[in-house]
Amino acid sequence: MRKYLTFLFFVLFGNFVFADSPLTSTDFGNAYLDIPIVKEAFKSEGKITNEMMDYIDDDANPLDVKLAIINAIGWDHKGLINSKIFFMYVMKKKNYQTDFHNDYIAFKWYATRDELICYSYMLSLDNYFDVVDAFEIAGEALRKSPDSFAVNMIYNLIKCQGLTAFGEYCYASKLFLTLKDNPKLKMDMRKESMSYVFEYMTSVGENCKKE
């Protein structure tokens, strides 16, 4: 059933180029260009490197920089599947296991907050036409860290990607903008990066303000 719905989605929206969408138009990594590894990610031509994965999977490194690296790698990957490369890297390094002998379940259950949200972000950028799995994994990260602005931001970008795909621009914009002044969230992104995200998500709902 899901494969049929995915096929139907491509038939209905195949002419819709997602170069302009929540995931592909929010280049907040530009606010981190003073950090060498982010600058390298911009030059990577869409390919994640071992150095980048080492940084992303190091608990001592800040989440916002990890997300900036992924953002800088971008979404035009030319056949590369960075999420799969990162997933295999983490599973080999951490050896997460369950009695079900299923790597995906083991990862979902035992991966850290940062691993979950970074993987989900990579997964959504690898295939921004189908973000169902990415949204599920992002939800696991949100469950572990509901007060993180960074986690909420990625979770909602992925959610809004799905909403706008089906024409729900007004709802997507209103939903995302609730993050802007939410006192319950800990701001763990650079303030300079926010304009790249909120300006686009505001523009998505410009024709809906009177609704």
Task: Give the domain ranges of the chain.
Answer: 2-7+22-204
Each residue's pLDDT tens digit, 11-55? 444 434 455 899 999 999 999 999 999 999 999 999 999 999 999
State residue 1's pLDDT score: 52
Residue type, 7: F
Residues 29, 153: Cα–Cα separation, whole Å: 13
Which pTM does this prediction carry? 0.90
Residue count (the chain)? 211
Each residue's pLDDT tens digit, 60-98? 999 999 999 999 999 978 788 999 999 999 999 999 998
Percent of the chain predicted with pLDDT > 70: 90
Query: In 10 A of CB 80, how many CB atoms?
Result: 16
In the chain, alpha helices (H): 2-13, 36-42, 50-56, 63-73, 82-94, 103-110, 113-126, 132-144, 149-165, 169-177, 194-204
Token look-up 């995302």 returns 176
List of residues 6+ apart from 119 with CB closer than 8 A: 83, 86, 87, 90, 107, 111, 137
List of residues 6+ apart from 84 with CB closer than 8 A: 126
Spatial CA neighbour of 179 closest among 165, 159, 164, 162:
159
